[in-house]
Structure 1
Amino acid sequence: MLGTQDPQAHLFAVTLPNDGNTPLVLLGVTPETLPIRHGDRLRLKPLAGSAPGRRAEVRRVLRPGGRLVMAEPDWDSLAIDHPDLGVSRAYTRHLTDRIVRNAVVGRQLQRLALQAGFAVTSVAPATSVFRDVHAADQVLGLQRNTERAVAAGYLTDRQADCRLDHLAKGPFFAAVTLYIVTAETPVTNSAP
């Protein structure tokens, strides 16, 4: 990985050649500030939810054969074990309908990369599994989003109370799938 994820802002990490030796890694830059077709690799967050112009800028920065790695969750795949499957599904539906801006972006990455002119070289799913409710709450906002689901009409007060009681007392399991897409800028062969 070329950098760490900052959930509050876009993260751009680009690897540029450095005198033919060790590549130079730049973090916190934007594609607009980089030279044309100099990047070997680029990782950024978020890409897919961005405007098509952002993807074009990324392609502009990468040299022919340069590599782009994107990773995004598919929040529709969120599965939380609960005795009442309907409550679990309503919670996930609330997240995907109201909380996450593009909840299915993970499954769209390949198509978006192809539409931007990249050659997709691999798509790999990675499932994040949570068995500790406190760790999951840090990522999923279980308490906060359960309350929001009640306010939005996805859950009743009784369902929310039962859900939160189960989360506090019972064994916990949740999983969500992240899709990792690797793509490259096409190499053009110019014949003399």
Structure 2
Amino acid sequence: MNRDLGAPRPDQAAYMLRMAGTGRTYKEQLLALLDVRAGQTALDVGCGPGADLGDFSRLVGAGGRVIGVDRGPAMVAEARRRASGPAPVEIREGDAHALPVEPGSVDRARIDRVLMHVDDPAAALGALHRAVRPGGLVGLAEPDWDTLVVDADDLETGRAFTRFTTTVAVRNATIGRRLARLAEEAGFTVLTVLANTPVLRDPEVADYALGLGRNTRKAIDAGHIDEERGTRWFESLSQGPFLASCTVFTVICSRGVTPMADPDEASSHI
């Protein structure tokens, strides 16, 4: 494990491509629940370097269309370079709060770990509601950083690290638990709510994914964690069996469709 608490933030495109594999379980679940069909138009908001656009292209087929939107020019360029598949893939530079798509033109849409970063999640969901056709399905996935746990003997420093993550490091840290409510407030009908808790056992992978070293350093510098305790806590993470986890919430919703009343089905998603 890299013991440099001042390690720089990894390249954003490289980070997103690597993390696409780490969260494969909830991503596959979300994609299956979206029920993407041949000939449809699928939208990926905050597509980053386009790691998941190929899945949409494969599902909508040659008669469909895939649109990826990202506000970062470097991400847009990388997504265009990587774009491939049977369906046309169009990458557009734009903001989640003002999506560059025609109103009511999208059959399926996804926002994956993007709302935790935006200025106004409610406004972004409102823009998405305008973009989706009546009856269209939307998949949302966001972590709830209050659920971040890192196993170590020093529980208080671990809790301080989580508090720093939720209050300073991540803009909308509790967006996961708020997804269903915000979706309903934006006009969507919530069909399914799921929670997945990926478990990381490799400290190197966790350091890369969760920014353990760099965020411990930031927390120390900001006075949230004592330097000696923070350094000792971080170094202890690579000195034995490791475990860290954080819950990711997935919400599937529709525009203008009432879900079937099925108590058994509903209870299975709680």
Normalising by the smaller structure, the TM-score range is 0.7 to 0.9
1:27 — aligned with what? Answer: 68
CA distance in 2, matches of 1:79, 1:143: 15
Shift of 1:36: 2.1
Q: 1:98 is aligned with what amino acid?
A: V
2:110 — aligned with what? Answer: 43
Q: 1:171 aligned to 2:244?
A: no
RMSD over equivalenced CA pairs, Å: 3.0
1:61 — aligned with what? Answer: 131
Where do 1:129-168 residues align within 5 Å?
129-168=199-238
Q: Indicate conservation of the 8 Å contact 1:12/1:44, yes or no.
A: no
More strand by share: 1
Shift of 1:32: 3.4
**How many residues are treated as equivalent by the alignment?**
183
TM-score by length of 2: 0.60
Would the alpha carbon gap of residues 148 and 181 (structure 1) be closer, same or farther in structure 2, given more than 3 Å must change? same
SS at match of 2:218: helix
CA distance in 1, matches of 2:245, 2:220: 22
Q: 1:74 aligned to 2:144?
A: yes
Q: Indicate conservation of the 8 Å contact 1:79/1:92, yes or no.
A: yes
1:180 — aligned with what? Answer: 250
1:89 to 156, 159, 163: 159
- Structure 1, unmatched stretches of 5+, are none
Deviations 1:154-189 (A, max 9, x none): 22122112212211212110000000111100149x
Q: Indicate conservation of the 8 Å contact 1:75/1:103, yes or no.
A: yes
CA distance in 1, matches of 2:129, 2:53: 13
1:100 — aligned with what? Answer: 170
Q: Indicate conservation of the 8 Å contact 1:62/1:185, yes or no.
A: yes
TM-score by length of 1: 0.83
Deviations 1:12-61 (A, max 9, x none): 99x7xxxx984222223356332221211011242464533332221111
State the percentage of identical aligned residues: 36
Q: Which has the higher contact order (CA 8 A, sep 6+)?
A: 1
Shift of 1:4: 9.7
Q: Indicate conservation of the 8 Å contact 1:36/1:61, yes or no.
A: yes
Q: Indicate conservation of the 8 Å contact 1:150/1:160, yes or no.
A: yes
1:110 — aligned with what? Answer: 180
Stretch moving more, 145-154 or 171-180: 145-154
2:196 — aligned with what? Answer: 126
Q: 2:187 is aligned with what amino acid?
A: G
Deviations 1:89-143 (A, max 9, x none): 0111111111110110000100100000100000100112110000001111111
Q: Indicate conservation of the 8 Å contact 2:189/2:257, yes or no.
A: no
CA distance in 1, matches of 2:158, 2:99: 42
CA distance in 2, matches of 1:7, 1:26: 12
